[in-house]
């Protein structure tokens, strides 16, 4: 079995794969839970942090996914050395699922990341903006009186009738408008575009976007397993 580890800004997301299929996934803050996973033959680590957790550093069971790791996808990003490994893993996962069509991957997590693969299967890049939690924290941190808010799945109003509602509308409806607007721009440039939504906040946005999308919360994990198998051959 394979163990893939996606170390994000706040959490460690893991997937156990058997013969290419995801059989178990879990999220943890403790690297010991990763190290104690039984029956693992090989693994891969993808991290956006500057330093790996101590227990995972130089662990011989895992390969570290870096800018130099070969991938089954042509990477045309100009600054490949600074490309987030989670972004490239998501692109690999998407290109494996959808072939011969332009594809936009939207990863809704700490940051909102847009990743584009053209019909020729080439990764071109995309864009990055603050995610839900980051926007709420910014409003609180950079103003004198705005309180810290959390996302509210029941709130869908355009007009906030109090401060809390105004902040929820600005952040939540703002991201929805941003995301739909970017999808529309891609559709004009690339007719037949496929859109895949992933990330920790994917479920929050899945039914709120007006554009047709396909949600896959495990896209990065699947991409990492593909990269692991590609390098094991």
pLDDT tens figures, 91-132: 999 999 999 999 999 999 889 999 999 999 999 999 999 999
**pTM of this structure:** 0.90
Identify which of 107, 111, 93 has the alpha carbon closest to the alpha carbon of residue 22: 93
53: Cα within 13 Å, side-chain hemisphere? 20
Cβ atoms of residues 224 and 69 within 8 Å = no
| pLDDT value for 38 | 83
Cα-based angle 95, 96, 100 (whole degrees, multiple of 5): 55
DSSP E strand stretches across 9-131: 12-18, 21-28, 42-47, 62-64, 74-75, 103-108, 111-117, 122-130
Please indicate whether residue 86 is annotated as part of the active site: yes
The rounded distance, in Å, linking the Cα atoms of 31 and 125 is 31
CATH value of 2-131+175-232 in 1.10.10.10, 1.10.3720.10, 3.30.420.40, 3.40.47.10 = 3.30.420.40
Structural tokens at position 197: 């939504």
Catalytic residue from among 6, 30, 58, 86: 86
| pLDDT value for 233 | 72
Cβ atoms of residues 126 and 116 within 8 Å = yes
Give tens-digit pLDDT for 162-202.
999 999 999 999 999 999 999 999 999 999 999 999 998 99
Domain ranges of the chain: 2-131+175-232
């Amino acid at each position: 079995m394979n163990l893939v580890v996606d170390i994000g800004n706040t959490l460690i997301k893991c997937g156990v794969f058997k013969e290419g299929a995801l059989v178990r996934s879990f999220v943890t803050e403790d690297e010991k839970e990763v190290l104690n996973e039984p029956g693992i033959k090989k693994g891969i680590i993808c991290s956006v942090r500057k330093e790996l957790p101590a227990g995972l550093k130089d662990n011989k069971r895992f390969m570290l996914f870096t800018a130099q790791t070969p991938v089954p996808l042509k990477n045309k990003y100009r600054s490949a050395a600074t490309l987030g490994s989670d972004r490239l893993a998501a692109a690999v996962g998407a290109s494996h699922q959808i072939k011969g069509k332009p594809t936009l991957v939207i990863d809704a997590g700490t940051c909102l990341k847009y990743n584009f693969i053209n019909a020729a299967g080439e990764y071109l890049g995309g864009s990055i903006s603050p995610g839900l939690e980051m926007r709420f924290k910014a409003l609180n941190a950079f103003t004198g009186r705005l309180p810290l808010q959390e996302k509210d799945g029941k709130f869908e109003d355009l007009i906030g009738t109090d401060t809390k509602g105004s902040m929820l509308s600005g952040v939540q409806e703002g991201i929805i408008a941003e995301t739909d607007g970017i999808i529309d721009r891609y559709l004009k440039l690339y007719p037949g575009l496929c859109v895949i939504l992933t990330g920790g906040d994917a479920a929050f946005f899945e039914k709120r976007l007006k554009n047709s999308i396909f949600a896959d919360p495990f896209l990065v994990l699947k991409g990492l397993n593909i990269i692991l198998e590609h390098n094991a051959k």
